[in-house]
Amino acid sequence: MAVLVVEDDRAIRESITDLLEEEGFVVEAAKSVEEALDILARGVPPCVILLDLMMPHMDGRHLLATLKADRNYGQIPVVVMTAARVFEAPGAEAILRKPFSVGAVLHLVEQHCHRAADEIAAERAKRATADLQ
In this prediction, what percent of the chain has a pLDDT beyond 70? 86
Q: Is the pLDDT of residue 34 over 60?
A: yes
Q: How many helices (H) and strands (E) does the chain have?
A: 4, 5
**What pTM was computed for the model?**
0.85
What pLDDT is stored for residue 35 in this prediction?
95
- For the chain, domain boundaries: 2-132
What pLDDT is stored for residue 127 in this prediction?
65
Determine whether 106 is exposed, middle or buried from the number of CB atoms within 10 Å of its CB (0-12, 13-18, 19+): middle
CATH number among 3.30.450.40, 3.30.980.20, 3.30.300.10, 3.40.50.2300, domain 2-132? 3.40.50.2300
- Residues 35-88 have pLDDT tens digits of 999 999 998 899 999 999 988 888 888 899 999 999 889 999 999 999 887 677
